Structure 1
Amino acid sequence: MTSTQIRSFSKPVTNPSNPTVVIGAGPAGLTAAYHLAKHGIKSITLEKADKVGGIARTETYKGYRFDIGGHRFFTKVPEVQHLWYEVLGDEFIKVPRLSRIYYNGKFFSYPLEPLNALNNLGMIHSLQIMSSYLKVKLRPLPEETNFEQWVTNRFGERLYQTFFKSYTEKVWGIPCTQIRADWAAQRIKGLSLKKAVINALFGSNDTKTLIKEFDYPLLGPGMMWERFQEKLNQQGCPVYPNTDVIRVEREGNRVKRIIVRQDNGETYPIEGENFLSSMPISALVHRLDPLPPENVLAAARGLKYRDFLIVSIIIDEEHLFPDNWIYIHSPEFKVGRIQNFKNWSPAMVPDPSKTCLGMEYFCSQGDEIWEMSQEDLIKLASREVVELGLVDDINKVKDGTVIRQKKAYPVYDAEYSQHLKVLQDYLDTYENLYTIGRNGMHRYNNQDHSMLAGLLAAENIMGAKHNLWTVNTERSYHEEFLTKESKAYSLAASTK
C-alpha cells in the first residue's frame, strides 16, 4: 500500500503523538502541516473527501484529468513560490494565458484589446462606454458599498452593464446591488479602464488578474497537493482521506479532542495540543461541544455559500479553440465558464485526437441546475457548447461526467461581514484553535493566499503572533507583510 492509499486508522491516535491536528487537506491545511514538519513538529491531517486538494484538486475520468475550476500558479509571495518549486520541482510547465469573453454572440479578448472591442461593440456602443466612463470620473458615485457602485466608479455604468453585471449575477445568483464591494476590491483591485487600455496599447501589465503566463503542474493542480500528501506521510505526519470531523470537544476556551468518522462508519477520538481548521467556519462552530452561545450560532447560519458543478465533456475533435478558458457573459446561456484542459496541459488529455472541456455551472443546492441528473446535465452542456459555436456537431460529444462541489464560494452579501465579525471575535478567544483557508475564514481567496494563511498559522504554533484575520488578498501579495520572524523561519527551512 502506497502512502497516498492510506484509508483508515489502525487505532485511535492520541496526544502527545499529535501536537497539531489539521482539519482539511486543501492548500491551507497541507501547507501548514508541511511547514510544521520542516521544523520538527508532528501533525495529523484529516480530509473528509477521498482525495486531497479541496477545490484545487484534480479529478480523473477515464484517464481525462480536469480541475474543479482552473488554478493558475502565480504569486507575488516569495515563500509560497518557494514551496511550489520545492515540492513539485521540474514538474511545472509554462502556460501562456489566453482567455476571452463571450457576449452578445461575439468573442472579446481579455485583457482588453481596443480594436477587438471596438469592432465587436461598434462605434456607437464604444463611444457610449467612453462617455459613461468620463461622466463617472467627473462625478463619481458618493458611495461604494456594493459591487455595482464599486465597478461603476472605475469603469462607468455602460461598461458595467455590458461586461460585469450579467456574469457576476450568474456566478453569485443574487443582484450585484446585494454583493459587497469587498469582493470586487479583493478580486479586481488595481484594474481600471484607463489602466486596461494602457496595458493593451503598450504591453505593460502588473495587475495580477491580467498576467500573460503562469506555471501549471504537468498533470493538473491536484498533482501539487498529492506531492504534499506523499511528503507528509513520509515524514511521519499522516494525511487521512475519507475522515469526517463530526464533533469538536472543548473545555472552556481550549479544544481538547475531536471525534472523527471514517468511511467504514467507525468513529475515533483524536487528541492534540493545537488544532487548525479549514472546514467551513459555519460548520465548525456547529460541531463545537458544548455549543457556542446562540448569537454565534445565528451568525454561522447567516453565512451563505455558492455551490458549483462542472460537466466534463469529451469531444471528438483535436483542436476546438486556443483559450485556457472562456467566460460566458450572455445571460441566455446557463454555463458560466468553459475550461479547455488540453490548453492548460496536453498531458491532461490521454487521447491527442480528443478535447476535454469543463462546462462550469454556478448554482445552489436545491436549485434547478443542482438537482438535474448527470444525463440531463451532459445534454445541457452538449447543447450549449454547440449553440455557442464552439463545437459544430453535437454528435461529436462522445462522453462526459459531472462533479458537484458544495460551498465552493463564500458569498459576500450585505450581511456577511457582520456575521463573520461575530464568529471571528468568538473564535479569537480560543487558545489553540486557528481557522485558515477559503472556507475556514469565509474569504474568497486564491490558493496562494490560502497557503500564506497556512504558513502564518503554523508560525503562530511555533510562537509567532500573526493576526490571521488581517491577511487579506491585497496584503498577501506584498512581501513586506511578512515579519522578520516569518522570514527567519523560511530562511532556516530553505537551508535544511
Structure 2
Amino acid sequence: MHISSDGTAGSKAGEIQVDVAIIGAGPAGLTAGYLLTKQGKTVAIIEKDATYVGGISRTVEHEGYRFDIGGHRFFSKSQQVVDLWNEILPDDFIQRPRMSRIYYEGKFYSYPLRAFEALWNLGVWRSAMCMLSYAKAKVFPQREIRSFEDWTSNQFGKKLYSIFFKTYTEKVWGMPCNEMSADWAAQRIKGLSLWGAVIDGLKRSLGLNKLNDGSGTQAKTLLETFRYPRLGPGMMWEAARDKILATGKGRVLMGHSLKLLAPDTRGGWRMTAESEQGEVVIRAKDAISSAPMRQLAARMHPLPETTLNASNLKYRDFLTVALMIRSEDLFPDNWIYIHDSKVKVGRVQNFRSWSPEMVPDKDVACVGLEYFCFEGDGLWSMDDDDLVELAKKEMDILGLVSPDKVIGGAVVRQEKAYPVYDEDYAANVDAMRTELEAKYPSLHLVGRNGMHRYNNQDHAMMTAMLTVENILAGERLYDTWCVNEDAEYHEAGDEGAEKALPDSRKPVTEDQAAALASVRDVPGRVPSRDRKAA
C-alpha cells in the first residue's frame, strides 16, 4: 500500500512497519510522535478527524474565522513543556491580557469575585439579603455536610450560593448541586471566603495588594497575561505534525479510526485502522493510546478482562456555537461565565480577545457560545441551523446583542471533552490500568482521555514526554500516572517554575514534576445512601 508524504493512506489495504504506533493526534499523541522522531524512531499516528489535528486543542476555521475549542491559555509551570512549545512554534506566540468575568442579570462581576463590587452590582436589597443569608450560615451552619450545595451554602450563605455557584456548576456537569460531593466543593473553592474577599477588596482600594506581574516577588494571584499562538492553539499542533512529517520518520494518517489493536504474533502490536478509503495495518514494537479508555478496551483483542469496567466510564460533551456579529467587540474578556438560569449557554468566548488574527474583519465581532451536554441529548442532536438560532435568541435574552446584527454562524461539536469522576470511576480506571500494565508493558496510555484524567494540555504533554523516556529506555523509568493536576494550575504561580524532569529510575513524585501534585477539581457524586438520606 502506498502512503503519501502527508501521511494519507491510499485506496488499497496495506501494511506499515514502524517502531511506535500512536492512536490520536492530540497534544499527547503529537508530543510523543515529535520527540520519538527526533530520536530517530519511526512512528505512525492515526487520527479519526479527517481535517484537524490537536484534539480538543485544535483550532477550527470557518470562512476565515478561527475558533478555539474551549480556550487554551499557554502557561505551564514545567520548564520542559515551555521549552517544547518554544521549540515547535518559536516565532508565533503573542502575549495576551487575561480577563474573565461573570455575567449575571445584565451586569459583569470580576472573577474571582470581589465582595464590594458584587454587593454594589446586586443592589441594596439583594445585598442585604445576601449578607443576612451569610450571617445565618455562620451562626447556624448546617452540621451534616454531604453535598456541594451544603458546603458552599455554609461558606457563602444560601443566597450567594444560588447566584454565583448553583446555575453555572449544574450547566457544566449536568447534575444537581445537591448530588455533587462536598469534597469537590472543598477542593474547588479552597481558601475562598466572603470575609477574605472583603479584606482583599480593602487592600486593593488602598493599593496594598497589586496583581501578580510574574516577577515572583508578589503574593501569588491570578496571572494578568498569558502567551497564545497568534492563529490559535491548533497552530501549535499543526506545526508539530509538519515537523514529524519533515523528519521522514513519521506518518500521520488523517481520517483513520482505530478498528483493532492486538498483540502481534511477530512480537509487539498489530493495529488496524479504517477510513473511507479502506483499512491499513500498522505493526509496531510499542503502542501509545490517547483514545478514550472505554473505546480502547472495546477495540482490543482479546478483550481485556476489565472491558466492563472501561465501558462504565462516562464523559461530558461540549459544543460551541460561533456567531459573527456586525458590531464592535461586545466585551474585552477572553470569556465570560453565564450565571443565568434563563439560558442554557454556560460560557461565551470572545475570539478576538484571544488573538486579533482569529477574526479577519475588524468590523465584525466573533463570539463562541459554549454549551455543556451529553452526546445524544437534545442539545447535541439539534441541527446546526437550530443551534445558531438558539444562540442568537439567548444572546438577545442576555441583552448582549440583537439577533439582526448576526451575519453568520457555525457549530463545532467536541465529544468526550470532560472525563466524568463519578463514584466508581477511580476503581474502573485502576482495574483496567492494572490489567494492561501487567499483561502489556509495551502499551502506553497517555493524555486526558487515554488515562481518563481531567488534565490540562501541558499535563497531557508531560504524560507523553515521560512515556517517550520509558520507550527509549526499554523499561518503565517513570510512573506517568503520577502526572496530574493542580486545581489552580492555570491561574497562579510562575511559568517554568519547575526546571527539570525527575531523576531516572524513580517514579514521578509530588514534589518533583511540574504541578503534578493534586487531584483535578472535578465533581464526584454524593454516595447513593447519603442522597437517599438527604
With structure 2 as the length reference, what TM-score do the two structures score? 0.81
TM-superposed deviation, 1:103: 2.2
Which structure 2 residue ranges, 5 or more long, are not aligned? 213-217, 490-496, 507-534
Which residue number corresponds to residue 23 of structure 1? Answer: 23
Paired residues for 1:163-182 under 5 Å: 163-180=164-181
Distance 1:395 1:204, change over 3 A: closer
1:215-234 matched pairs, under 5 angstroms? 215-234=227-246
Residue identity opposite 1:257 in structure 2: R
Secondary structure at the aligned position of 1:457 is classed as: helix
**Percent of aligned positions that are identical:** 47
SS in 2 for 1:485: coil
In structure 2, relative to structure 1, the CA distance for the partners of 1:402 and 1:150 (3 Å cut) is same
* Aligned residue number for residue 424 of structure 2: 415
Preserved contact between residue 190 and residue 207 of structure 1 (Cα < 8 Å): no
RMSD between aligned residues = 3.0
CA distance in 2, matches of 1:274, 1:382: 49
Change (3 A) 1:456 1:387: same
Are residues 1:444 and 2:446 paired? Answer: no
Which residue in the other structure is 2:479 paired with?
Answer: 467
1:68-87 correspondence to structure 2 within 5 Å = 68-87=69-88
Mapped contact 1:172–1:362 kept (Cα < 8 A): yes
- Residues in 2 aligned to 1:191 and 1:280: alpha-carbon distance in whole angstroms: 34
Quote the Cα distance in structure 2 between the aligned partners of 1:482 and 1:245. 32
Distance in structure 2 (CA, Å) of the matches to 1:480 and 1:180: 35
Deviation by residue 1:167-222 (Cα, 9 ceiling, x = unmatched)? 11111111234445676677666655566556653135599993221111100110
* Distance in 1, Cα, partners of 2:6 & 2:297: 31
Distance 1:143 1:134, change over 3 A: closer
Check whether the contact 1:198–1:204 (CA below 8 A) recurs between aligned residues.
no
Write the letter of the residue equivalent to 1:402. V
1:44 counterpart residue number: 44
| Corresponding residue of 1:279 | 291
Change in Cα spacing, 1:458 to 1:57, as seen in structure 2 (3 Å) is same
**Alignment of structure 1 residues 290-439 onto 2, 5 Å:** 290-293=302-305, 296-391=306-401, 393-429=402-438, 430-439=440-449
Contact 2:166 2:177 in 1 (8 A): yes
Structure 1's 480 and 81: CA in aligned 2 closer, same or farther, altered over 3 A? closer
Q: Partner letter of residue 27 of structure 1?
A: P
Deviation of 1:297 after TM superposition, in Å, equals 1.9
Answer yes or no: is the 8 Å Cα contact 1:285–1:297 preserved in 2: yes
Letter in 1 for 2:418: Y
Counterpart for residue 270 of structure 1: 282
Q: Which residue of 1 aligns with 2:253?
A: 240
Q: Deviations over 1:379-426 (max 9, x none)?
A: 1100111211111x2110011111111111111122222222222222
Q: Amino acid of the residue matched to residue 307 of structure 2?
A: L
Matched position secondary structure for 2:271: strand
Give distance in 2, aligned partners of 1:48 and 1:486: 35
Task: Give me the whole-angstrom Cα distance separating, in 2, the residues matched to 1:207 and 1:239.
Answer: 45
Separation in 2, partners of 1:268, 1:297: 25
Kindly indicate whether the alpha-carbon contact (under 8 Å) linking 1:180 and 1:414 is maintained by their aligned counterparts in 2.
no
Letter of the structure 1 residue corresponding to residue 298 of structure 2: H
CA distance in 1, matches of 2:143, 2:77: 32
- The residue number in structure 2 matching 1:258 is 271
AA at the equivalent of 1:131: A
- Residues 141, 156 of structure 1: CA spacing in aligned structure 2 closer, same or farther, 3 A cutoff? farther
Deviations 1:104-142 (A, max 9, x none): 443211132333112123431442465367569xx7967
Task: Output the CA distance in 1 between the equivalents of 2:120 and 2:29.
Answer: 47
8 Å Cα contact 1:135-1:156 kept in structure 2 = no
Deviations 1:87-116 (A, max 9, x none): 111211111111111224432111323331
Aligned CA distance change for structure 1 residues 160 and 273 (closer, same or farther; 3 Å): farther
Deviation of 1:318 (Å): 2.3
Query: Quick check: 2:445–2:451 contact (8 Å CA) kept in 1?
Result: yes
> What SS does structure 2 have at the residue aligned with 1:306?
strand
CA distance in 2, matches of 1:126, 1:476: 27
- Distance in 2 (alpha carbons) for counterparts of 1:77 and 1:141: 41
Q: CA deviation at 1:249?
A: 0.9
Change (3 A) 1:172 1:209: farther
Conserved in 2, the CA contact under 8 Å of 1:311 and 1:401? yes
The match for 1:214 among 226, 238, 255 is: 226
TM-score, reference length from structure 1: 0.87
SS in structure 2 at match of 1:479 = coil
Contact kept, 8 Å, 2:134 with 2:158, in 1: the verdict is no
Q: Which amino acid aligns with 2:281?
A: P
Distance 2:5 2:68 in 1: 19
Which residue of 1 is the match for residue 93 of structure 2?
A: 92
C-alpha spacing 1:209/1:61, structure 2 compared with 1 (3 Å): farther
Cα distance in structure 2, aligned partners of 1:359 and 1:245: 31
Are residues 435 and 155 of structure 1, via their aligned partners in 2, closer, same or farther at CA, if it must alter by over 3 Å?
farther
Give the direction of change, closer, same or farther, for the CA distance of 1:52–1:78 in structure 2 (3 Å limit). same
Evaluate the alpha carbon distance shift between residue 441 and residue 143 of structure 1 in structure 2; reply closer, same or farther with a 3 A threshold. Answer: farther
CA contact (8 A) 2:211 2:221 kept: no
- 1:208-245 CA deviation, whole Å, 9 max, x = no partner? 99322111110011001001001111112222211111
Q: In structure 2, do the counterparts of structure 1 residues 36 and 190 end up closer, same or farther at CA, with 3 Å as the change threshold? A: farther
Query: After the TM superposition, which of the residue ranges 106-115 and 239-248 deviates more from structure 2?
Result: 106-115
Q: What letter is aligned with 1:68? A: I
